[in-house]
Amino acid sequence: MKTKILCETPDFLVCEKPAGLAVQAGPGYQADMVSELKNDLCKKTGGRSPYLGVVHRLDQPVEGLLVFARTEVAAADLSRQLADGRLAKRYLAVLEGIPAQKQGTLTDYLKKDGKNRCAHVTEAGESGAKRAELSYRVLAEQGTRALVEIRIGTGRFHQIRVQMAHRGWPIAGDGKYGAKSQTPGSIALCACSLTFYDTAGRQQREFSAYPHHPAFGDFPEILKR
């Protein structure tokens, strides 16, 4: 199984997704996290079909942390936490380009192009446009690249990738959005931290993951902190 399970309870699973693996496959055969996890749970429960609720997603070339619900009650609770910000995610990314402002908030309106599986920045009043907001902080610089920490205020399709590329800072390896470097199946974007409150005990749970994309290797000291 490509998916790594970091924590398993009766209410949820916290997993680390490798780059290149889809969270949930579309039509046709393709390996995906949901199928892997359901097969694993089925073996553990003696063949009974398990419930597995998808609370949030990551793009296929993105690596990092996800939480899945194991009951409908947990799914509803985690979805509420995602909506009100109690389920918080922190990302690390390596950008091709260095922002002039070392930290800031980016607000755009994005429109999804379903035919070409991409999105672009557009005007607020355009049909299908959705508001997208994120905050970033530059952690380190190396040559023409920057290591940044990102937190999203909205969860739009390809949001981080589009908003960064729109300003001339595409994510390393992301040829789809203009990066000069291309890494088959992966980009230098990792959901490295996940925080939420468990359904049973109402205790805050925190999880972290280390990014594996080779571009992060240019920033070894900052990543070890």
Residue 47's pLDDT is 65
DSSP string across 14-35: EEEEPTT-BSS--SS---BHHH
pLDDT tens profile 68-114: 999 999 999 999 999 999 999 999 999 999 999 999 999 999 998 87
77 is catalytic: no
Catalytic site residue from 32, 59, 77, 108: 59
Residue 200 reports pLDDT greater than 80: no
Q: How confident is the model at residue 28 (pLDDT cuts 50, 70, 90)?
A: low
- The arithmetic mean of pLDDT across residues 173-192, rounded, is 93
DSSP 55-110: -----TT-EEEEEEESSHHHHHHHHHHHHHTSSEEEEEEEEES--SSSEEEEEEEE
Multiple choice CATH, 4-223, 1.10.20.10, 3.30.2350.10, 3.20.20.70, 3.40.190.10 = 3.30.2350.10
Q: In whole angstroms, give the CA distance from residue 139 to residue 188.
A: 15
Identify the pLDDT of residue 27. Answer: 59
Show Cβ contacts of residue 201 under 8 Å, excluding neighbours closer than 6 positions.
Answer: none
Q: CA–CA separation, 110 vs 113, rounded Å? A: 10
